[in-house]
Chain A
Amino acid sequence: MTALRTTLTVNGRPYDLDVEPRRTLADALREDCGLTGTHLGCEHGVCGACTVLVDGQAVRSCLLFAVQCTDAEIRTVEGLADGAEHPLQTAFSAEHALQCGFCTPGFLMLAVGALEKDPGVVRDAERLRELLTSNLCRCTGYEAIRRAVVAAAGDRPAGED
Chain B
Amino acid sequence: MTIGARLRRREDHRLVRGAGCYVGDLRVAGCLDAVFVRSDLAHGDLRQVDLEAARATPGVVAAWSSADLPFLPDTPPMMDPESVRGRPWPPLATDRVRYVGQPVAVVVGDDRYVAEDGRDAARVRIDALPVLLDPAEAADSPVRLFAGAGNVASEKTFGEPIDEAVWQQATVVVEATYRQQLLAHTYLETRAILVRPEPGGGLTVWVSHQAPHRLRRDLAGGFGLREENVRVIVPDVGGAFGGKSETWPEYLAVVAAARRLNRPVRWLEDRAEALTGPPHGRGQNQRVRLAADADGRMLAYELHIDADVGGYPHTGAFVPMATSMMATGAYTIPQVSVRSRAVVTNTAPTSPYRGAGRPEAASAIERTVDLLAHRLGLDPAEVRRRNFIGPDAFPYDTPTGFTYDSGDYAAALDVALREVDYSGWRSEQARRRREGGVPLGIGLCTYVERSGAGEEFGAVEACPDGTFVALSGCCSTGQGHETSFPQVVADVLGIEPERVRLVERDTAVVPSGIGSFASRSMQTGGAALHRAAGKLIEAARQRMAETCAVPVGEVTYDAGVLAAAGRSMTLAELAGTGQLRADNTFAPPEGFPFGAYAAVVEVEPELGEVTVLRLVAVDDYGVVVNPLIVDGQGYGSTVQGLGQALYEDVRYDPDGRPLTRSLLDYLIPTLSEVPALRFAETRTPNPNTPLGAKGAGEAGCIGAPPAIVNAVADALALDARDALQMPLTPYTCWSAAR
Contacts and interface: CB of A to CB of B under 8 A. Distances in A.
11 contacts: A31-B111, A36-B21, A38-B18, A96-B9, A96-B629, A100-B237, A101-B16, A136-B188, A136-B668, A141-B677, A144-B635
A161 interface: no
A103 B188 contact: yes
Label chain B's interface by main secondary structure: loop
B239 A139 contact: yes
A77 B14 CA distance: 11
A96 B11 contact: no
Given A39-B238, A103-B188, A93 B662 contact: no
Interface stretch (B465-473, B476-484, B506-514): B476-484
A104 B271 contact: no
A108 B16 contact: yes
A81 B17 contact: yes
Contacts of B27: 34
Nearest to A128: B671
Contacts, number: 165
A135 B670 CA distance: 7
Contacts of B629: 96
Contacts of B8: 93-94, 96, 159
B647 to A, nearest CB: 12
B664 interface: yes
Contacts of A134: 670
A113 interface: no
B16, B17, B19, B639 — most chain A CB neighbours (10 Å): B16
Contacts of B668: 136, 138
A141 B635 contact: yes
A143 B12 contact: no
Interface in B91-129: 111-113
A65 interface: no
The bracket for how many chain A residues form the interface is 35 or more
Given A39-B189, A100-B189, A142 B18 contact: no
Pairs A-B, 9 closest by C-beta atoms = A37-B18, A100-B478, A102-B238, A101-B15, A77-B18, A141-B639, A36-B25, A93-B12, A46-B663
A85 B270 CA distance: 32
A22 interface: yes
Nearest to A22: B113
A42 B662 contact: yes
Label chain A's interface by main secondary structure: loop
A36 B247 CA distance: 26
Contacts of A98: 12, 15-16
Contact of B635 (A80, A92, A135, A140): A140
Interface in B24-66: 24-25, 27
A73 interface: no
Nearest to B627: A96
A99 interface: yes
Contact of A99 (B21, B24, B111, B479): B479
Given A36-B21, A44-B664, A94-B8, 9 more contacts: A23-B113, A36-B25, A39-B188, A78-B19, A80-B18, A100-B188, A129-B672, A135-B670, A136-B668
A137 B190 CA distance: 13
Nearest to B12: A93
A100 B187 CA distance: 9
A41 interface: yes
Interface in A79-126: 80-81, 85, 89, 92-94, 96, 98-105, 108
B188 A93 contact: no
Nearest to B270: A43
Contacts of A105: 18
A151 interface: no
Nearest to B8: A93
A143 B16 contact: no
A139 B16 contact: no
Contacts of A144: 632, 635
Contact of A80 (B17, B21, B270, B672): B17
B318 interface: no
